[in-house]
Amino acid sequence: MFQKILIANRGEIACRVIKTARKMGIETVAVYSDADRDALHVEMADEAVHIGPAPSAQSYLVIDRIVQACRDTGAQAVHPGYGFLSEREAFAEALAKVGVAFIGPNTRAIAAMGDKIESKKLALAAKVNTVPGYVGEIKDADHARKIAADIGYPVMVKASAGGGGKGLRIVHKESELVQAIQSSQNEAKAAFGDDRLFVEKFVTEPRHIEIQVMGDKHGNVVYLNERECSIQRRNQKVIEEAPSPFLDAATRQAMGEQAVMLAKAVGYDSAGTVEFIVDKDRNFYFLEMNTRLQVEHPVTELTTGLDLVELMIRSAAGEKLAIAQKDVKLEGWAMEARVYAEDPYRGFLPSTGRLVRYSPPAESATVRNDTGVYEGGEISMFYDPMIAKLCTWGATRAEAIAAMETALDEFRIEGIRHNIAFLNAIMHHPRFRSGKITTAFIAEEYPDGFHGRPLDHAAKALFASAAAAATRIRDGRAAKISGTLNGAHEPDGVVVSLDGEAVETAPLTVDWRPGDKLMRAGGKVIQIAPVAGGWQLGHGGMHATAIVRGARAAALAGLMPKKVKADTSKLLLCPMPGLIVSVNVEQGQEVKAGETLAVVEAMKMENVLTADHDVTVKKVNAKKGDSLALDDVIMEFA
């Protein structure tokens, strides 16, 4: 067994690997860029090595610097995590040349399956059912047009290297194809250093279901059941679960056996994931194989009782798999919700800044939180916006969902925008709870974006009563301070308005003290924070501002003029802190609705800003290469 391993990654996955290594008695080495000097994974590791500037292309993607870090520290093996160099054959080869083990599959498997084009060719040769498309690299836009015309729209333009939704675009008509190719190439080049693309048919009403496989260097491969990953936004997974609510035992076995067959065809000897698209009739098509540990691996661990990182390390050290297929369990149900630094109320645009408050729910037998951040830490614009992976386990799917709802209510983040309310709204959504989901779930259920889960009558009553109770408790404590006026006495009671609407209150017994960020009332957890004249409240993906006044003050407030928001309809504002990749129009140009105005890059993703109606450009304030803050004016319209 290794005495020391280096983790060639950052964030939550680096922390996750360190935890298992520590459990196994193995020393760890972290690597870090300028932006990650104070990161959690650096603090957790036994040693840390600086490898370059903040951009990943100058640090985490530089093979020579990782290899040198191994030499300098005497690390005997490297765990690559996911993303970055995890699926790069050249990285594994460079490590082998200096006698360092790669905690992942052999280079032949990486080459054959890590490349999306080559893996499709191999799957076709092995008679595995694959998605229709052109099996090969597209040469240019004209070549892509011909392929798309042959197989029919909609199509997917996909990066041959990497994954995680980077370099992937769904194209519904020919006019969108050129921009999709350009953005996919740019993203793939930035994220993986490889801009090769291919085109395949987009299966309608699809589910994204994947099989976890695990192999060793002695020819043994088992499958560790499936994960349902259909809840996606912009092809990025948001919520995953194990098992899938859609598969029956026969389909699970058929998919598992096919995944094992494919893995054995390339002598696969580590953790890997075979991804399938499954249609409404449970027909499944091989999509790709990820030759690495997946982001969503915790739900498999929670339902099988296995530590996948430990299995990877033991396999890399030459040990035989300690389990056979008959030993693989499937106990209970697990959910994973990806907590992102993004604003769901502004089109899910990335959010950067300092975590003024980071207070996750307490971990237990039913709650697990994999993270790489801490309170006071910085969310950088240079990397993926994931803050944490919140996981819950239950004996049934309903119990796992209920545990997730409570855990999300208990998760407190301040200082940046985040998607916790959105995740909780999905947990409460009737369609999600029914299990009748596809990869189009978010697009179909939130076609105009997310605006918060609507408050029902019960929620309004709960919020209003909670606000009144909080005011009573706070004022009651203030009244006990000597030498102050008695502010707790309201002769005519209080009037509570929720987002401008008067709501009746009822007596409510609560567990709360002034200053607490969570209130427990009637078996529910409410997030609560003071605002001018009242409280900001949240529960179950619902939010409201409650203003609490005495009867006289409420009557006078009704006479106050309403503040009118500034008109920004003639401005294109930068929707997030980011870098201008291109400005596609010039002053005086007439632009049609749907045409591209500019492209902004943030957190490794390109965001195409389009005109929502016909406009004439009056002034262009930004140029390619400019670094802009949130709401900076990119251009003005006549």
- Among 401, 418, 445, the domain-final residue is 445
User: Which of 411, 445, 479 delimits the end of a domain?
Assistant: 445
HEC per residue, 261-329: HHHHHCCCCCEEEEEEEECCCCCEEEEEEECCCCCCHHHHHHHHCCCHHHHHHHHHCCCCCCCCHHHCC
CATH code, domain with 633:
2.40.50.100
Distance between CA atoms of residues 546 and 553, nearest Å:
15
| CATH code of residue 403 | 3.30.470.20
Judge whether 119 lies within some domain: no
Q: Are residues 243 and 388 in the same domain?
A: yes
Residue 243 domain-assigned (yes or no): yes
Question: Are 408 and 471 members of one domain?
Answer: no
pLDDT digits (tens, 9 = 90+) for 383-441: 988 999 999 999 999 999 999 999 999 999 999 999 999 999 999 999 999 999 999 99
CATH code of the domain in which 148 resides:
3.30.1490.20
CA 602/CA 587 separation, integer angstroms: 25
- Tell me: pLDDT of 158 over 60: yes
Is residue 247 domain-shared with residue 330, that is, in the same domain? yes
Give the pLDDT confidence score for residue 485 in this predicted structure: 62
Which residues are tagged catalytic? Answer: 288
Q: Give the model confidence (pLDDT) of 492-526 as tens digits.
A: 578 999 998 999 999 999 999 999 999 999 889 99
Residue range 443-483, pLDDT digits in tens: 999 999 999 999 999 999 999 999 999 999 998 888 788 77
pLDDT at 190 over 90: no
Angle at 78 between CA 75 and CA 84, to 5 degrees: 135
Residue 450, domain member (yes or no):
no
d(CA 427, CA 421): 10
Q: Cα separation of 528 and 467, whole Å?
A: 9
- The reply to whether 326 falls in a domain is yes
Residues 523, 474, single domain; the answer is: yes
Q: Specify which residues 511 forms β-bridges with.
A: 520
The answer as to whether 111 is a domain residue is no
The pLDDT of residue 492 is 57
Same-domain status, 87 and 180: no
Bridge partners, 214 (sequence order): 222, 271
Same domain, 93 and 144: no
pLDDT of 587 > 80? The answer is: yes
351 and 440 co-located in one domain: yes
Range(s) of the domain holding residue 504: 457-557
Query: Does a structural domain hold residue 451?
Result: no
Identify the bridge partners of residue 535 per DSSP, sorted by sequence position.
530, 546
Distance CA 322, CA 476 (A): 62
Q: What is the pLDDT of residue 367?
A: 98
Give the confidence band of 284 by pLDDT, cuts at 50, 70, 90: very high
CATH code of residue 486 = 3.30.700.30
Burial of 590 (0-12, 13-18, 19+ CB in 10 A): exposed
425 and 547 assigned to the same domain:
no
Q: How far apart are CA 348 and CA 576, in angstroms?
A: 10
Average pLDDT, the chain: 93
Domain assignment present for residue 616? The answer is yes
Asked whether 577 and 630 are in contact (CB, 8 A), the reply is yes
Supply the pLDDT for residue 490. Answer: 57
Structural domain contains residue 517: yes
Q: Are residues 294 and 407 in the same domain?
A: yes
Burial 23-33 (b: 16+ CB within 10 A, else e): eeebbbbbbbb
How far apart are alpha carbons 277 and 348 in whole angstroms?
25
79 phi/psi in degrees, rounded to 5: -100, 120
Do 24 and 157 reside in the same domain of the chain? no
Residues 284 and 432 reside in one and the same domain: yes
- In terms of domains, do 302 and 412 share one? yes
Split into its structural domains, the chain has a count of 5
445, 472, 493 - which closes a domain: 445
What pLDDT does 136 receive?
A: 83
At 86, is the pLDDT very low, low, confident or very high (cuts 50, 70, 90)?
very high
Q: Cβ-count burial of 22 within 10 angstroms (0-12 exposed, 13-18 middle, 19+ buried)?
A: middle
Q: What CATH number does the domain containing 50 carry?
A: 3.40.50.20
152, 191, 150: which is closest to 171 by C-alpha?
Answer: 152
